[in-house]
Structure 1
């Protein structure tokens, strides 16, 4: 699927992807003012924070299911719950350790998914924005994770190695603990044990 500016309905995406010029109305912060931002100045900072392509830098964004793509993609996008995203994070850090830097503005996640990863060459943890949830039908329990296509082998190896090391999904729940109850419950239990002790003595 190839998407051009004519195919997009979201003004934020059109401006950020360079399909339309980022004019004074856009840069003034009016898109977010009164909705995401308390004022135009705050709204402008939201727009500044988005990763962007230059105007006319690209004509299309091309996307496809990974197993059916007949081209080599720049970025792989995976949606999942927070535990599944955690496993992908574990995998991408398996060899080098440390941490992964991601930032969030709560809007324009398409720029995080497509532009930021391509420009930085680094995986990204994605918090789906409001539009992604309304129009993309991303569920409340979903997050996303992106990584450069050429990291695919490293991600697979990281998943396998961390799984072998005991870091797995579904994540097991620890149940080897002694439950603690309110004092009144404990007193009742003590009375039962005392009663059973007396019965044993009588026998």
Structure 2
């Protein structure tokens, strides 16, 4: 799935797959195209590779946020700008940490809520598209080894998965933040400068 997603995000392609097109059970299970059965939950293939014991491998598998098996029969990906998926179930945004905090600030501009996310380690797609598809909540992840090695995700990028309505909300919020002078790129003020003039603008005059 890392490769399929990157075909849209990096190459601009529209691609559809079923579970039969995926290599191995892990990716199938995260997006609900394969069962999360006892064999999958055991994670035996990861013992001695990603985890030191069978217990650790099982704990990781159980920690993953996955889509219930059978909810979907296939997956389609496409650049949002193409408008080919109307509407998509979730949107994926790759961004640097600086860009990502502005996106999060945009989400929090109105209807504020504290976001809390977890890190499962390998199979981090469960932190992003697995969690977002399962819960409907904005889901931030640190792309894992597989996403970077096979999906081509650059070293400096993070991934946010969120519903189209949440992305629209974030855009509205970011536009208002920009009007307030809070925008990306975030220009360094200077670590030895008197911060009072800048703070008065960015954080409101006292």
Residue 10 of structure 1 deviates from its aligned partner by 4.2
Aligned twin of 2:82? 68
Match of 1:148 among 140, 163, 179: 163
Moved over 6 A (4+): none
Larger-gyration structure (1/2): 1
Task: Give the TM-score of the pair, scaled to structure 2.
Answer: 0.79
Match of 2:102 among 68, 77, 87: 87
Higher relative contact order (CA 8 A, sep 6+): 2
Task: Give the TM-score of the pair, scaled to structure 1.
Answer: 0.80
Residue 151 of structure 1 deviates from its aligned partner by 2.1
Contact 2:142 2:158 in 1 (8 A): yes
**In 1: Cα distance, 2:44 partner to 2:189 partner:** 50
- SS of structure 1 residue aligned to 2:93: strand
Long gaps (5+) in structure 1 = 179-203
**In 2: Cα distance, 1:55 partner to 1:98 partner:** 30
Q: From the superposition, tell whether residues 6 and 93 of structure 1 become closer, same or farther in structure 2 (CA, over 3 Å).
A: same
Long gaps (5+) in structure 2 = 1-14, 194-206
Equivalent residue runs for 1:1-203 within 5 Å: 1-70=15-84, 71-175=86-190, 177=192
**In 2: Cα distance, 1:17 partner to 1:153 partner:** 24
